[in-house]
Structure 1
Amino acid sequence: MSAARPSLRVDEAIAAASLLLPGTSPRLDAELLLAHILDCSRTALFTHPENRLDKAQQARYRALIERRRHGEPLAYLVGTREFWSLQLDVSPAVLVPRPETETLVEAAIELLQPGMMVVDAGTGTGAIALALRSEQDAGRVLATDISHAALAIAHGNARRLDLDVTFVCADWLGVFVAQTLDLVVSNPPYIVAADPHLETDGVAHEPRLALVGGGTDGLDAIRKLVVDAHRCLRSGGWFATEHGYDQAETVRNLLRDSRFTEVHSRTDLAGLERVTLGRRT
């Protein structure tokens, strides 16, 4: 009888998986997935590359690699994503937080003052609201979402991070009365339904409700938010929204048409206009 084939070493497993994975960072994905399986850090993988996987670990690793090969976001496979130095739980019920959304957080932080009433409309994981709350005392921070599943994720993140945010099941700003808010921030859906990007790696597995903005230009959600924000904001209050890289001029015009002033856009790290702000008179 021949001897049983030895199980894979850590470095062998990573090397083999890296050859199978798509995208721009197959080795990083392979390392993160294996660290998740072994419940260790990436550093531990490098420190002990000679450690071997048992049969159960190999089977779980193969299963995750196969799912990643078919485009599932890495964040869904490991169940977490870092945003603003906060480790957030994620699931297929929510959009995976993107680095470019930190541009929106940066812009909002510059506007925060003690005692403000702040709302993150369409919160998803709670990323924006929790990032704002983690920075300084902004008074009261609330966050809305129409999805009960998303709110469960967001509430769990707030509880685990011990950050005081109030979550409300609502369609954008519909539950708020006129002229009661000081700052409204949002990363709403803004992609056109026919955009081929929706079928690319990762994005195809995310909730369409959080991606497709409606209308021929994808901006129907932002149109509704602009109108609602003007109704809900106090005089001098601010509205800030993320949008697509080629939508800034249109969004600026939407804000001006709704009598917002001091309208301007912010660029992300790639130099693209991804956030637009306006102040209610």
Structure 2
Amino acid sequence: MSEKQEIWTVLKVLTWTKGYLAQKGVENARLESEWLLCGVLDLDRVGLYLNFDKPLTEAELARLRGMVARRARREPLQYILGSQEFMGLEFAVTPAVLIPRHDTEVLVAEAVQRAADGSRILDIGVGSGCIAIALAKVLPRAEVMGVEASPEALALAEKNIEANAVRVTLFEGSLFEPFPTERFDLIVSNPPYIPTVDLESLQPEVRDFEPRQALDGGADGLDFYRLITPAAPSHLNPGGWLLFEVGIGQAAAVKGLLERTCVFTDIFTARDPSGIERVVGGRLA
């Protein structure tokens, strides 16, 4: 954007930003440019289209320049805007947590099908809180708990719990550490599942900005499934469910882990909207 005195209307800025971000390798450059402008102008996309001829002020242009520069460096749009929608709810996000993905909505949907409103539910690796909060919203009488090793993620999840007006109790720790004798009706987890060797080939938005500890699943991506699966029966009530989100091509291996415990029955997989087996689960016999 030129610094010389000229009128920069919404449409003119949008056109320039789209071209610039596309040159920097940003996918969906037009849509992302619209969202950046919406953030600066405090408009929704309909409002943006109704204000194409409106000139931006110098303060608005200055703010937009900073945001566009960050996106051009491939910082995720969600971190720049500070939020992401998930299951119809709004979640604050920072580089302390993974950005909620719509693929994960399949895990929530499968969990809801298997939980009663009065269930005791544990979310392992709570991150932004999106899974636990979505479950608490749909099942308001459930007792939902979450465990997370990162203090920064826990602090953000607490803010999201308050913003979405639900009851979720959070604990700092790894896996089942805070619950030596607790049992639950449903345990859900979206653990780190990217094989270590694949991390460097991820999109720059993921590789360079999202928290590595929330991505790295070890040599084959299955480290956390191997830790959680054998420990889960001691923390499930009879008939309780264990549900995982899994990465592409991992469903068969994770299903095998559940089968080899010899205590899980009704083992199933569920596909996401792209047809990828995204959820694996089983019920404690």
> Is the CA contact 1:9–1:53 (under 8 Å) kept in the aligned structure 2?
yes
Residue 270 of structure 2 aligns to a residue in which SS? strand
The 1-side partners of 2:141 and 2:227 are apart by: 25
> Is the CA contact 2:268–2:280 (under 8 Å) kept in the aligned structure 1?
yes
- TM-score w.r.t. the length of structure 1 is 0.95
The 1-side partners of 2:102 and 2:39 are apart by: 21
- Please name the residue that 1:6 is paired with: 6
- Please name the residue that 1:268 is paired with: 272
- Please name the residue that 1:90 is paired with: 93
- Please name the residue that 1:15 is paired with: 15
| 2:149 matches 1:146 | yes
Q: Percent identity?
A: 36
The 2-side partners of 1:97 and 1:82 are apart by: 8
Residue 245 of structure 1 aligns to a residue in which SS? coil
Residues 116 and 146 of structure 1: CA distance in aligned 2, closer, same or farther (over 3 Å): same
Misfit runs of 4+, over 6 Å:
none
The 2-side partners of 1:139 and 1:99 are apart by: 23
The residue type paired with residue 5 of structure 1 is: Q
Matching residue within 40, 45, 52 for 1:42: 45
The residue type paired with residue 216 of structure 2 is: V
> Is the CA contact 2:26–2:72 (under 8 Å) kept in the aligned structure 1?
no
The 1-side partners of 2:176 and 2:11 are apart by: 50
Shift of 1:177: 3.0
Paired residues for 1:190-205 under 5 Å? 190-196=193-199, 199-204=202-207, 205=209
The 1-side partners of 2:238 and 2:43 are apart by: 51
Matching residue within 218, 223, 228 for 1:220: 223
Residue 111 of structure 2 aligns to a residue in which SS? helix
Q: Which moved further from structure 2: 103-112 or 16-25?
A: 16-25
- Please name the residue that 1:211 is paired with: 215
The residue type paired with residue 45 of structure 1 is: L
- Please name the residue that 1:280 is paired with: 284
Paired residues for 1:250-265 under 5 Å? 250-259=253-262, 260-265=264-269
The residue type paired with residue 205 of structure 2 is: G
Q: Which moved further from structure 2: 24-33 or 171-180?
A: 171-180
The 1-side partners of 2:201 and 2:88 are apart by: 27
The 2-side partners of 1:240 and 1:183 are apart by: 8
Structure 1, residues 205-264: CA drift from partner, whole Å, max 9, x if none? Answer: 1000111112x2111011111122122111111000001110000000001112221111
Residue 91 of structure 1 aligns to a residue in which SS? coil
Residue 155 of structure 1 aligns to a residue in which SS? helix
> Is the CA contact 1:7–1:52 (under 8 Å) kept in the aligned structure 2?
yes
The 1-side partners of 2:192 and 2:168 are apart by: 22
Paired residues for 1:25-104 under 5 Å? 25-104=28-107
Shift of 1:63: 1.6
The residue type paired with residue 172 of structure 1 is: L
Residue 35 of structure 1 aligns to a residue in which SS? helix
Aligned CA RMSD, in angstroms, stands at 1.4
Structure 1, residues 126-157: CA drift from partner, whole Å, max 9, x if none? Answer: 00011111112352001110011101111101
> Is the CA contact 1:181–1:234 (under 8 Å) kept in the aligned structure 2?
yes
Q: Which moved further from structure 2: 88-97 or 219-228?
A: 219-228
Paired residues for 1:112-123 under 5 Å? 112-123=115-126
- TM-score w.r.t. the length of structure 2 is 0.93
The residue type paired with residue 6 of structure 1 is: E
- Please name the residue that 2:184 is paired with: 181
Matching residue within 121, 124, 129 for 1:126: 129
> Is the CA contact 2:95–2:211 (under 8 Å) kept in the aligned structure 1?
yes
Residue 187 of structure 2 aligns to a residue in which SS? strand
- Please name the residue that 1:237 is paired with: 240
